[in-house]
Chain A
Amino acid sequence: MTDPILQVRGLRLGFPSGKGHVQALRGVDLELRRGEVLGLVGESGCGKSTLARAVMQLARPYEGTVLLEGTDLGALGERQLRPLRRHLQMVFQDPYASLNPRMSIGDILAEPQLAHGLLRREEAGARCAELLDMVGLPAGAAHKYPHEFSGGQRQRVAIARALALGPSVLIADEPVSALDVSIQAQIINLLQELVARLNLSMIFIAHDLSVVKHISDRIAVMYLGRIVELGEASAVIETPRHPYTRALVASIPVPDPARQAPAPEVLSGDPPSPLAPPRGCAFHSRCPRALERCRTEMPELEAASDKGSCACFNP
């Protein structure tokens, strides 16, 4: 099926801040296709988590819509939204902060299902064992508490909790960033298996491009609250078009001394403040290819083609 499971249109969202207004999302359009893994990358503060929270309806945008299977979630009240929430679940970066330290793993996993009326108390034990097995933890883990687990194991618990309600869309916000490489590999394998087995569609947020490339079908690159490039994962990494994506790709450390770029192109300057995004293309202040026009006009994301799409006047 080609119709997207999730559509984000013209999303704008901001936060009041001491001196002014943080423009976290400045017009985001994005589609998640059925069964795909969409990687979302970009620098710290560019709005990735805010986008995730807006999709989850945890933050209300002041403009734009989020459609799940065609239903406009923003138009629903909390009561109507509730039954839909189970289709949309999230895994957070910090496996320490996202699990209640005073609840046993069994209770953590049963709670959302009981709350949604999807489970009777007497079935909880069996269902919990099933979920733990799905994420590669022993059934005995149900009686333990979060502090008794390592970071990687807690992230497995968090994934099991997200899966408990049988979601169709999973949003993973930096699920492996806090983990060591060898543990990271286990979690990436697990997510990949689960997506295939449970037929999930997933938005995978990370700042490590090599991880994102590995797991994603398509990649969206964000810069200061907007998507600047979108395309097939291999194309975005191997033949990036937007100058920001190029810089990002050039910055990936290559774990092989024999394949080092002789003079790596490093981006100069820092990202501009989201309190006062520059006029024109937000990247123009750091862009080696900027034209006069880039200072005044904002490039739109071009219509998708087989090359993907890019928002740049001089790609």
Chain B
Amino acid sequence: MPLLEVKDLSCSFHTRNGVHRAVNGVSFHLDRGEILGLVGESGSGKSVTCHSLLGLIPRPPGRIDSGTALFDGTDLLSLPQAGLRSIRGRRISMIFQDPMTSLNPYLRVSEQLIEPLLIHTSLTRRSALEKAAAMLRSVGIQDADTRMNRYPHEFSGGMRQRVMIAMALITGPELLIADEPTTALDVTVQAQIVELLRRLQRETGMAVLYITHDLGVVAGLCHRVQVMYAGRIVESAPVSSLYASARHPYTRALLRSIPSTHRKGERLQTIAGMPPDLRTAAPGCAFAPRCRHAVAGCLQGPSPLLRPHAENHSHACLRDDLTDDQLSRND
């Protein structure tokens, strides 16, 4: 049984400007000890997907329209708040993009670190503090015993993100959800954090759902990747097959737009047009208006479902007939 199994998750936002269908029938699973990447452009529904797992969607305007999310057999989506709270922060932790939104500026770092331990375990304050210092050391913060008595603003951006990671990991969660934890950081600090996550994951065997729009980070960190477009998962594959033989035209286009896949100075491949407006449900494949392989059938009928293509590799493109050559041809 997978650690997490999400089925047919849909989530919408009901605003004055209309109903935004942010997540549309998303299904995926995550095994114990697996690092799964979730990539996609801004607005594709990555954050909404993971926020809905943890009951963090603001309601209203948000609404979960359908779906189940079995975590070790328990459906997170139908769990009452109290039950969710006892899982959140203990068995599932989350790291947010901006550490300052989840660190309390008025509390010493030490207090924030031991809080989940005092709530969820029977540790004494003293041993909780010892554990907090040890956790800070393991995320690479030197002089942890003195540093942890400081306030968040006395730490640099990279250090705060490490404090956040320490806080997320202190209860030894089985699942870590990391929502773009390095996007705001410099590349050198990003490399430190990614290396740290890799090591901690190896040591503790936790599963990680890693959200990013950086295809480079995914290649070095994740076992498997899922690509989201307009609220749907359009491709899912082990990293090696995704980078070597992506099947969905959107994934191909995304990979082709990275400068490092081009010769220096060469014109970069781009994706024409813009992502669809999530308020209007157009028939067919959401990518069709921007897709160079679209045929008449792509613009009709229900949205294409995610279907298996090879071992562990599935995609939601109707054009199974496309050859690798056709898919990789540049404009």
CB within 8 Å of B: which residues of A? 43-44, 150-151, 180-182, 184-186, 188-189, 192, 207-211, 213-215, 233-234, 247-248, 250-258, 260, 264, 266-268, 270-271
B284 on the A face (CB < 8 A): no
- Is A215 within 8 A of B244, CB to CB? no
Chain B stretch 169-198: residues in CB contact (< 8 A) with chain A: 185-192, 194-195
Nearest-neighbour CB distance to chain B for A10, whole angstroms, equals 27
Q: Are A257 and B191 touching (Cβ within 8 A)?
A: no
Q: Interface size (B, Cβ < 8 Å)?
A: 46
* Alpha-carbon distance A250/B191, docked complex (angstroms): 9
Provide the bound-state CA to CA distance between A270 and B147, in Å: 14
Minimum CB–CB distance from B318 to chain A (whole Å) comes to: 21
Residue numbers in A under 8 Å from B261 (CB-CB): 255
B18 touches A (CB below 8 Å): no
Kindly provide the distance from the CB of B88 to the nearest chain A CB, expressed in whole angstroms: 30
A247-B188, A251-B187, A266-B188 known; A181 and B258 CB under 8 Å?
A: yes
Contact A254 B270 (CB under 8 A): no
23 contacting pairs across A/B (C-beta < 8 A): A43-B186, A151-B42, A181-B254, A185-B257, A186-B268, A189-B267, A214-B259, A214-B268, A215-B265, A248-B187, A252-B187, A253-B219, A254-B260, A255-B219, A255-B260, A255-B261, A257-B243, A258-B244, A260-B220, A267-B191, A268-B192, A270-B156, A270-B159
* Alpha-carbon separation in the docked complex, A192 to B218 (Å): 28
A-contacting residues, B239-270, CB 8 Å? 239-240, 243-244, 253-255, 257-262, 264-265, 267-270
A254 touching B258, Cβ below 8 Å: no
Question: Is the CB of B140 closer than 8 A to any CB of chain A?
Answer: yes
Q: Are A182 and B192 in contact (CB under 8 A)?
A: no
**Cα distance, A257 to B156, chains bound together (Å):** 31
Q: Chain A residue with minimal CB distance to B220?
A: A260
Q: In the complex, are the beta carbons of A248 and B188 less than 8 A apart?
A: yes
20 more CB-based (< 8 A) A-B contacts, given A253-B220, A270-B159? A43-B186, A43-B188, A181-B215, A181-B258, A182-B41, A182-B254, A182-B257, A184-B257, A185-B259, A185-B268, A189-B268, A213-B264, A214-B260, A251-B190, A253-B214, A255-B219, A256-B243, A258-B243, A260-B220, A266-B191
Residues in A with CB closer than 8 Å to B190 are: 251, 253
Total A-B residue pairs with C-beta atoms closer than 8 Å? Answer: 121
List of B residues within 8 angstroms of A215 by Cβ: 265
Interface residue? B134 (CB, 8 A) = no
Q: Which residues of A contact B253 (CB under 8 A)?
A: 182
B188 with A267: CB separation less than 8 A: yes
**B186–A44 CB distance below 8 A:** yes
Query: Within 8 Å CB of B67, what residues of A?
Result: none
Q: Which residue of A lies closest to B268 (CB)?
A: A185
**Among A186, A252, A257, which residue has the most Cβ atoms of chain B within 10 A?**
A257
Chain B residue nearest to A46 in the complex (CB): B186
Minimal beta-carbon separation of A301 from chain B (angstroms): 21
Partner of A260, one of B219, B260, B265, B267: B219
Given known contacts A181-B257, A255-B255, A256-B219, A209 and B187 CB-to-CB distance under 8 angstroms: yes
Asked whether A214 and B216 contact (CB < 8 A) given A44-B186, A255-B260, the answer is no
A144, B229: Cα distance in complex, Å: 28
Contact across chains for B258 and A150 when beta carbons are under 8 A apart: no
Q: Smallest distance from the beta carbon of A38 to chain B beta carbons, Å?
A: 14
Given known pairs A182-B270, A251-B188, A267-B188, the reply for A257 and B258 (CB within 8 Å) is no
Whether the Cβ atoms of A233 and B215 lie closer than 8 Å is no
Interface flag for B108 (CB, 8 Å): no
A interface footprint on B12-48 (CB within 8 Å = 1, 0 otherwise): 0000000000000000000000000000011000000
Complex Cα spacing A151 to B275, Å: 12
Give Cα A43 to B157, complex, Å: 12
B158 at the interface (CB under 8 A from A): yes
Report if B271 contacts A (CB, 8 A).
yes
Shortest CB distance B171–A (Å): 26
